[in-house]
Chains A and B, each alone.
Chain A
Amino acid sequence: MPNEFHGQVIALLPRLRVQALALTRNRAAADDLVQDAVANALAAQNSFTPGTNFPAWMHRILRNRFISTLRKQRETTDIEDVPASAFAVSATHEDRLILKELGNAVNRLPADQREALFMVVLQGMSYEDVAEATGCAVGTAKSRVFRARRQLQTWLTGEESAEATTPENRTGENRYTGRPAASGMRRMSGKSGVGEHHLLA
């Protein structure tokens, strides 16, 4: 069913774009990656079994394409993008700052964690689908999302460990509902944490 296949590709493009951004952290590179992945998928469409999980199949192609590009480039100039919405005029100044810090923190997560986090939180994918798309065990997918969330919480609230504090003894400045702690952000900025090597391993 060629028509159905092409319709599925088009319907999935917005999600692929976000997923590509999760991997590349760069808008231009994400657009190139989606284009390349779609070209690969069109060439390989006969290998897709209708009725099976198309999003997982497509995400796998995108991911493999990213990994092979990464292997070729290995050392690239890394321009990290924070989406333009972080600078949207509708948000208050403080909201913009927090969003920008969140975007920067997300960009510093290891790529496999960022990828799994986006799949679950933004795309609403199940852990089973994440596991299928990324070629890992379901438990690994869960663990990646869990670690991503806790790492972001640590960075953005300035806490090293969730066990160390309770909501009652936090200051307002350290709460994620307010301004993320500068100390946490300083710690964060010192880490590269990009973690593409996780994907190459």
Chain B
Amino acid sequence: MDMDSSDSSKPAPSPRPARRKAERKDGDAFDLWLQRGLHQLYDDVAAEPIPPELLRLIEEDRTRRGK
């Protein structure tokens, strides 16, 4: 048996898959944190009341076209 040739034909186990897995996990955790942070920052903006002049613009158009 030629141990050398069989050993050399097999690629050495690479640490990359494990590292990639860790990075992916890390990225997923960051993405969750980012989602929470963005909602904290911008949900208030979305929840603010609609400016009356904008609603008036829409309602006037609705009335005009409904006639």
Contact = CB atoms under 8 A, between A and B. Distances in A.
A149 B23 CA distance: 13
Contacts of A91: 40
Nearest to A157: B30
A132 interface: no
Given A2-B62, A3-B66, A176-B30, A83 B57 contact: no
A11 B57 CA distance: 15
A130 interface: no
A15 B41 contact: no
Nearest to B21: A166
Which bracket fits the contact residues of A? 35 or more
B61 A42 contact: yes
A81 to B, nearest CB: 10
Contact of B19 (A6, A14, A163): A163
Nearest to A7: B62
Interface string B13-24: 000000100110
B39 A99 contact: no
A118 B58 contact: no
B61 A6 contact: yes
A166 B46 contact: no
Contacts of B37: 98-99, 102
27 contacts: A2-B66, A6-B59, A6-B62, A10-B58, A13-B50, A14-B47, A34-B54, A35-B53, A38-B57, A83-B41, A83-B42, A83-B44, A83-B45, A85-B43, A85-B44, A88-B44, A102-B38, A102-B41, A103-B41, A121-B35, A122-B39, A149-B30, A152-B34, A153-B30, A166-B19, A167-B22, A167-B26
Given A35-B53, A177-B33, 16 more contacts: A2-B65, A6-B58, A14-B46, A17-B48, A18-B42, A35-B57, A83-B42, A84-B44, A85-B45, A98-B37, A121-B38, A166-B22, A167-B25, A168-B22, A176-B29, A176-B33
